[in-house]
Structures are given as C-alpha cells and as structure tokens.
Amino acid sequence: MSGISRGKVILSLRNITKSFTEDSKTLKVIDGISVDIGEEFVAILGPSGCGKTTLLRIIAGLEKPDGGEIIFTSKDARIGFVFQFPTLLPWMSVLENVALPLRVNGLSWQEAKERARKYLSLVGLASFEDFYPRELSGGMRQRVNLARALAIEPVLLLMDEPFSALDPLTAESLRSEVLDLWLWGVTSVRTILMVTHSVDEAILMADRVIVLTARPAKIAGIVDINLPRPRDRRSADFQALEDKVYELISS
Amino acid sequence: MPLYTMLLAAATASLFRMLAAYVLSVLTALLIGSAMAKNKTVESILLPILDILQSIPILGFFPAALILFVTYFPERIGVELASIFLIWTSLVWNMIFGVYSSVKSLDPSYNDLVKAYNFGHAARFFFIYAPVSRRSLIANSLVSWAGGWFFLTSAEVVSLGSSEYRVTGLGSFIIEQFNSGNLLGFYLGVALLLLIITLTYFLIWNPAASKNLGLNLPSFTAVYDKIHDIVAATWGELGELSLVVEKRLKKFEKILGFLIRLSILVALVIFALNIIAGLGSIGLPNFLPKMLAVLYEIPITLSRIVFILLLSLSLSLLVAFISYRSVLLGGALSIIGEILASIPAIIWWPLLAAIALRYSYGAYIVSLIVFLQGSFWYLYFNIIVYGLSSIRKDLEELSSVYKIRGVPFIRYVFVPSLLPSIANGALSAWGGAWNASVVAEYVVVGDHSIDIGGIGALLNRLAIQGDAEGLVVSALLLSSVIVLINKTLWSRFFKYIEGKYGGED
C-alpha cells in the first residue's frame, strides 16, 4: 500500500466522514477517509453506491462533510468538474455553454468566448461552436462538458464517471483524448481525480488507484500503477495489477 | 369627443393596460415561481396562499384593489393602477404555477452545475430558471391572454357600493355605449375589440406557440420575429445589468440578505395584524350569517358548474375528433376558439339582451353562454392544442393495421390518449367556471338587473351594497371550499388518470 503522493501535495483529505438521513434512518456513506493527493492522476474505484461520488462532491464543495478537513495547499484552488452526464443548457450554443461559467465569474462575454474557443479546439470541437447541444452526439456533448471544466483553468480536475454514459467505442476514444491532454500538459490541470467503477479504466488511465470498500466507504488500499503509457491491456503487468485491485475489492 | 376618437383612445388604453398587466405577470411569475421551486420555506408559505388566491373571483379583489391603490395614490393614477392590478389577477396564477413546475422539474444535475461554477442568484435566474420556464410561460400566455380580455370590463369599471371608478378603455366604452342606447358605438366597440384580439393572436401568440411549442397554429411570423428580437435583446441587457449589480453588491451580501428577510417578515406581520383586525371589526355576530349565506349559495352554482363541465367535455371531444380528422378544420377551429374565448363576458348580456329580457328562461340561456365561455375554452385548448399532438404515432399505426375505426377507435385509442390533457383542461375549466360565476349569474343591463342566484350573484350583491368585508370573507370562503374540493376529489382523479393513462415514461 502506498500512501505517499508524487510531487508536492495539492490536496489533503483528513478523516472525512459523511452520513445521510433517510426516513429517520441514518446511513453512513463515508467513514474516515484520509489521503494526500499530489500532482498526479488518481482514480477512485469502488462498487456502485459506495460513496465515491459523494466523496468527489465533498471535495468539489457541492456537499458538506459531517466531519474532517479538506486542505488545498495551493493558493489558487480553482476546481473543474466534469459531470457524469453532460448537463449542458439546451438554450445556449456550445460556445456559450463553455463561456457561461467564465462570464459568471467575472470575465466579459468577449474574453469568456475567446477562452472558450481555445478549449473547444483542444477537445476537437472548434468547428461546432455555434451548434446547440441537441445537435451533437453523446460523445461530443461530453467533450463540451470537459471543455467547460478545462476553460476555468483549474489546478484540480474532478471527473465523476465521465465515460460511463457513453457507448464503448466513443468512451475508448474519449479516454485516450483525456490522457493525451493530460500527458501533453497543455492545460492548467496539475491533478486529476476521477471516480470510476471500472477496474480496467482505472488501471489504463491513472497513476494511482484508490480502492474503496462497500458502504460505508473506507480506503481498502492504494495501488501504484507504474506502467509506461500507452498501456497495453493484454500485457502481463496490466493483468497482474488487475488481479491486485480485484483482490482489494473482494477482501 | 367624436365617437371614432373615443373608440381609438379606448382601444389604445385597453391594449396598453393589458400589455402592462401581462409584462407584470411574466415578471412576477418568473420571480415567485422560481423562488417557490428553489426555496422550501417560500414554497411552504406561498403554495397554499396561491391555491386560495387562484380561486378568488375578480370581484373578490375589488376591495384590495381600491384599498391598495385608490387610497394611497392620486385618484387618476390610483384607479389606473387598480385596473391593471385587477387584470393581473386574472392573468398571473396559472403562469406562476407554470414557472414553478418547470423550475421544480429541472434535472438536479443543474443544481450541481450552478454550485460547481459559482453561479450567483442573478446568473441562475437569467441563464437557467427563466429560459427553462419559457415553454410553459408561452403555453400559459395563450390561455391567460384570453382570460384577461374576458374580465376586461370587470377590471375597467370597478364599483363598490356608492363609489364607482371607471378608466378609459374598450370594456368601459362598450358598456357605456350600450347603456346610453348608442347601438352604433356599441357594435363598433365590439368589432374593434374582436379585431384587436384576433390580431394579437395571429401576430404574437400563435407564432410564439408555433415556434416554441412545436404546434401548428395559423399565424403571421414577421411581427413576432421583430418583437422576439426586441424582447430577447432587452432581456439579455437586463441579465447583464443584474450580473454587474449583484457583483457590486456582493460585499454587502449578508446585510442585504438580512434586510430582505427582515422586510418580508415585517410585511407578513403587518399583513397578519391587518387580517386579525379586519376579522375583529366584522365581529362574529355579523360574520356567521354571511358565511351561512355563502354555504347556501354554493350548491346552486355547483350544480350549474357540473352541468357546464359535462357539456363542455362532450362539445370539445366532438370538436377534437373533427379537427383530428382534418388539419385545416383544426387550425380554423383553434383560432375561432381563441377569439371566442377572449370576448369579454359582459358583452354577451347586451348582445343577447333581447333573449335575456324577453323570455322567462332567457336569462338562464345567456348565463349558460357566459359560463360556457369562462370554462369551455380551457378544456378545448388543452384537448385541441396539447392533447391532439400527444396521440402517439405508433398507436395510430396500430389502429390502421388492425382496422380499428369508428366507435372502438374513439373508445379505446382516442379518448384514453387524450385523458391526461382532458384532466388538466377539466381542472382549469372548473376553476374558470367558478370565476365566471360573478359575470354569469348577475348583470346590470341598462335599467334592468338580472339575478339568477348562486354564489356569483351573491358576490355582486355584496359589491353593490358596498359591503367590502362581506365581499372579502365570502370570496375567501368560496375559494377555500374550491381548494378543499380540489385537494380531495380532483387530486384523486388526477392520481388515477396519471397512474393509468400517464404513459410509459
């Protein structure tokens, strides 16, 4: 088990706990999670409904934890969030959808659109800026979702099962595009935290995989993925890591 | 002043009054509707209040209009504001509920979006809540616009006891011309009114519905396109402006929030104190007989309304089936419906005065027409405009493959497909009929007054006696009874329809 992050620490979680109350029953979903995240690509892996999405939402500030601390070490704590579903505004064009968060946070429309254009072309949608969401395919909408998150130039990028709502072929090509953007370092992103329930996806993409237990979520183990990229799913090393992760899940 | 000048002045004044009330309705609907959908406290306070207010007939708002505006403003402005306020009360409620349900049914992931990207109140309102309400606002505008014209005369001639206030307008013009025996003026007024109503539908509402709701209503789009551009640009500027203002005010956010909450609280306390003081001044001995009178009159009106609803239902199903068979006929029927629905109620009385006064049952026949007019169109609009487009293509194909035609088709495919819109339409028609009772059960034509009893007639008598407290108490009691019936009978009916015919998704 490896609890040591790579590079300088960007984000520290200290003993995060969270419960939900439903029909007067209290359900503990997160039970004391502590981890340091550096400048790296981390996958959070766990069975469905284990609270991994809740953990991500707590880090994003969408929900408050019952206990524990979230510490951002960098001064600029901008966070980008890639939603599971594209969540685009149907009455706005692709360009406006990406520019809106920038406009709302202080840029003029002109500046916001200029920057939105840059990130739309990074995700390969430069020629679609005047399209409306309903005119795009599922994969393209998810790219807009990604561009919107990148455009606010975050240090930390959170992704909530970003490929799970796509068909397998589209998901695979978007995975390699995200990896390319990450490896080229063309964006402001220093750290990616991705929630997934696919062991294969986690090992294919991440530097470290945090495996969570079933509800309430605790850290079952952390697996370092020291494979060179691009990774080959059929290689013996990949298979060995898969076995290791599955062992952690079933224990 | 020559007749034509008077006529033009009256028409212009009425049109502007309607526009002002409409713009006001859109703004209040957006603000109140989205606040209710997003804030649990606001929702729990306003939802029951709006339920009650929605069922209060326009006469019940007379005392409020006069007290709020005529007392505190210079008379001419006060009366004008009171009139706009009264039109607003016949436009706004369904629009508020429309916005409320649109924002309420917004996918929860948009909540995460606005939080994750730090959207302020202004940004949420202008970029999310307002656009998501657009379709339901337009759908409701079609109905509200007709409802506004229907009660126009009631809003332009406000009388309570000995005090009567009139504003220049088509509604008051038409009634004055008739009462002074000037039939040419009367017919010209009615004709101009119909022309204005027709034009507004052809030029504005039908194009709006065709472009935004995917309906196919007869329309000319050129004027609408211009209006749309102007409205969109103004709205956009307003949005940008409020973004800037909100950013500037951010420093004072806490103080402002506190002040707003404080002022709402103070307003509520003053309101409650006034009601308690009002109830106290009426006194229980006066209060009870008034309530008993209301409870005595309600069943009379109720029996009329049940009859009207059944009649409306059969008529609109018949028309729906005809227009289902022929698209051309359907378009023609929908525009006729829009115009007829908008004819101010009181016009029927002078128009059909000959029948009403000559025969012994004449008054009942005219009353039936006015009642029908205040309720039939809700069913009609819902079935023709929204229902017919919801009949599924695959069921039509199924029927043609298995040769299901005629009565079996109507019974097993046509009516069940329409049931959700029939239920919606019937609920609105029911509310509309209660509101129409104040113009259908009592009227003064020239020197004659026609009174066929019922709760609507009672409210009119109270207004003529100038019994403001009695009027408010009776209107509130009536609306509580309506809400009670809605919450018990109608909600069960809706659950049943929704469960059985609501569709698979």
Residues of chain B positioned with their CB less than 8 A from the CB of A89: 127-128, 131
Q: Is the pLDDT of residue B183 over 60?
A: yes
pLDDT bucket at A6, cuts 50 / 70 / 90: low
Task: Output the average pLDDT for chain B.
Answer: 85
CB contact under 8 A, B243 and A103: yes
CB contact under 8 A, B243 and A91: no
Sign of CA dihedral A237, A238, A239, A242: positive
CB-based contact A207:A6 (threshold 8 Å): yes
CB contact under 8 A, A91 and B134: yes
A150: closest CA among A183, A184, A178, A109?
A178
Q: Which of A82, A92, A104, A115 is most worth mutating to test chain B (most B CB atoms within 10 A of its CB)?
A: A104
CB-based contact B64:B71 (threshold 8 Å): no
Q: Is the pLDDT of residue B285 over 70?
A: no
pLDDT bucket at B283, cuts 50 / 70 / 90: low
Who wins on pLDDT, B342 or B84? B84
pLDDT bucket at B81, cuts 50 / 70 / 90: very high
- Across the interface, which of A57, A91, A101 has its CB nearest the CB of B117? A101
B113: closest CA among A152, A83, A163?
A83
Span B446-465, pLDDT tens digits: 777 888 889 999 998 988 88
B26: closest CA among B130, B103, B123, B106?
B130
CB contact under 8 A, A61 and B116: yes
SS3 content of chain A, % helix, strand, coil (to 5): 35, 25, 40
The confidence score (pLDDT) of residue B412 equals 81
For range B230-248, the mean pLDDT: 90
The chain A residue lying nearest B129, using CA atoms, is A89
The confidence score (pLDDT) of residue B505 equals 43
Q: Percent of chain A having pLDDT more than 70?
A: 97
- What is each CA distance from B87 to B75, B430, B459, in whole angstroms? 18, 20, 18
The confidence score (pLDDT) of residue A51 equals 85
The confidence score (pLDDT) of residue B284 equals 59
Span B241-267, pLDDT tens digits: 998 888 888 777 778 878 888 888 888
The chain A residue lying nearest B239, using CA atoms, is A104
Q: Is the pLDDT of residue B279 over 80?
A: no
Residues of chain A positioned with their CB less than 8 A from the CB of B123: 100, 104
- How many CB pairs below 8 Å do chains A and B form together? 46
- Burial code of B335-350, b = ≥16 C-beta within 10 A, e = fewer? bebbbbbbbbbbbbbb
Averaging pLDDT over each range in A236-250, B200-214, B258-272, which range is the top one? A236-250
The confidence score (pLDDT) of residue B9 equals 94
Q: Percent of chain B having pLDDT more than 70?
A: 97
User: CA-to-CA distance for B453 and B259, rounded, in angstroms?
Assistant: 49
Span A106-132, pLDDT tens digits: 889 999 999 999 999 999 999 999 999
The chain B residue lying nearest A86, using CA atoms, is B109
- Burial code of B481-495, b = ≥16 C-beta within 10 A, e = fewer? bbbeebeeebeeebe
Who wins on pLDDT, B387 or A175? A175
- Burial code of A188-218, b = ≥16 C-beta within 10 A, e = fewer? bbbbbbbbbbebebbbbbbbbbbbbbebbbe
B412: Cα separation from own chain's centroid:
33
The confidence score (pLDDT) of residue B472 equals 84
pLDDT bucket at A2, cuts 50 / 70 / 90: very low
**How many CB atoms are located within 10 Å of the residue B179 CB?**
14
The confidence score (pLDDT) of residue A178 equals 92
User: CA-to-CA distance for A92 and A104, rounded, in angstroms?
Assistant: 14
* Half-sphere exposure of residue A134: CA atoms within 13 angstroms, side-chain side: 3
Q: Is the pLDDT of residue A43 over 80?
A: yes
Span B11-30, pLDDT tens digits: 999 999 999 999 999 999 99
Span B456-503, pLDDT tens digits: 999 989 888 888 888 888 888 898 898 898 888 888 888 887 777 765
Span A68-107, pLDDT tens digits: 899 988 777 788 999 999 999 999 999 999 999 999 888 8
CB contact under 8 A, B127 and A104: yes
Q: Is the pLDDT of residue B129 over 80?
A: yes
Q: Is the pLDDT of residue B347 over 80?
A: no
CB contact under 8 A, B110 and A62: no
User: CA-to-CA distance for A155 and A165, rounded, in angstroms?
Assistant: 25
Residue A164 DSSP SS3: coil
**pTM, two decimal places:** 0.84
Q: Is the pLDDT of residue B387 over 80?
A: no
Span A192-241, pLDDT tens digits: 999 998 999 999 999 999 999 888 888 888 999 988 888 988 999 999 99
The chain A residue lying nearest B121, using CA atoms, is A104
- The answer to whether B110 contacts chain A (CB < 8 Å) is yes
Exposed/middle/buried for residue A6 (C-beta within 10 Å: 0-12, 13-18, 19+): middle
- The answer to whether B134 contacts chain A (CB < 8 Å) is yes
A119: closest CA among A139, A149, A89, A142?
A149
The confidence score (pLDDT) of residue B503 equals 56
